[in-house]
Amino acid sequence: MFKRAASAAALFLLAASLSAAPITIRVDATDAPNHLLHAHLTIPASPGPLALFYPKWIPGEHGPTGPINGLSGLRFSANGAAIAWQRDPVEMYEFHVDVPPGASAIDVGLDYLIPPPGTNFTAGASASPRLAVLSWNTVLLYPQTPSSDALQYEPTLRIPAGWKCATALETQTAAAASMPSSTFATGKSTSFIAAMPEGGTLKVSLSDVDGDALKLSVSDTGKGIPKSMRDRIFDPFFTTKDAPSGVGLGLSISHSIVEAHHGKLLVDSAEGSGATFTIVLPAAAAAAHLR
């Protein structure tokens, strides 16, 4: 009875933490023409044992058909350090890790081998040199919760150069996949203002870099970023704000979108001297999203 109550309490706490912070998943589909997908997940977690599952029962497939035979390259880490993992000895879709003390999330990296023709459902062939269909259940893990409604994912997708994408999912902006600068600028402006509580100057500039790239810079005259924090500002869920002012996803998402367009997101700051964030985009990528 005690064990059952303890398990229920643990699941309740996990569900509460997941409702406050979504699981982020970044899928790199640039190798889709070679029948290979790469994924990185950041899953909120508390220190201690954690069980994660690969989707087994897929709606509409009427059986335990989750294509786990395509799962490859599974790796876990927390706070930048690798974590050992074990497969459940009975349930092959279940994986066990121990979240180390001090960690508030774990990072999961995995690859999915897209199968050749001859299989069905989401396990079926879904990629060619010019087209790919992504079934999200093939590239994710999930923790056990009392209800699947408690699971919220925040996805980012990188596609091969020259490809276009379409989705039924709601996007962060009307053109989130093709306009990284606007996503960054609109989401970050409030952070610049918050960094200048007593007022200051916010400067935005756009310039050409030898005809090869476009550079967007946004600077403030605020408090600046301490050196101890500078290496962490692009980490998911890292924030200096008090809840619910921020959850620490804005810069992480912006960084992923810019990288997906083969660009760079840079920061230059000294404590007490303001901060400058710069996006550098290759001219070809910039021209593509302005068409």
Boundaries of every domain in the chain: 2-158, 180-290
- Phi/psi region, residue 60 (left: phi>0; alpha: psi -120 to 50; beta: rest), is left
pLDDT-based confidence at residue 203 (cuts at 50, 70, 90): confident
The per-residue pLDDT of the chain, averaged, comes to 78
Give residues with Cβ within 8 angstroms of 165, minimum separation 6: 157, 159, 177
What does CATH list as the number for 2-158?
Answer: 2.60.40.3650
Average pLDDT (65-93) is 95
Q: Can you tell me the distance from the alpha carbon of 148 to that of 142, in angstroms, rounded to the nearest whole number?
A: 9
The CATH architecture of the domain made up of 180-290 is: 2-Layer Sandwich (3.30)
pLDDT tens-place string over residues 96-132: 999 999 999 999 999 999 988 766 777 676 788 888 9
Tokens encoding 239: 């924030």
* pTM score: 0.56
> Model confidence at 66, in pLDDT bands (50, 70, 90)?
very high
What pLDDT, in 10s, does the model give residues 237-280?
Answer: 666 655 444 555 567 777 777 777 788 888 888 887 888 888 88
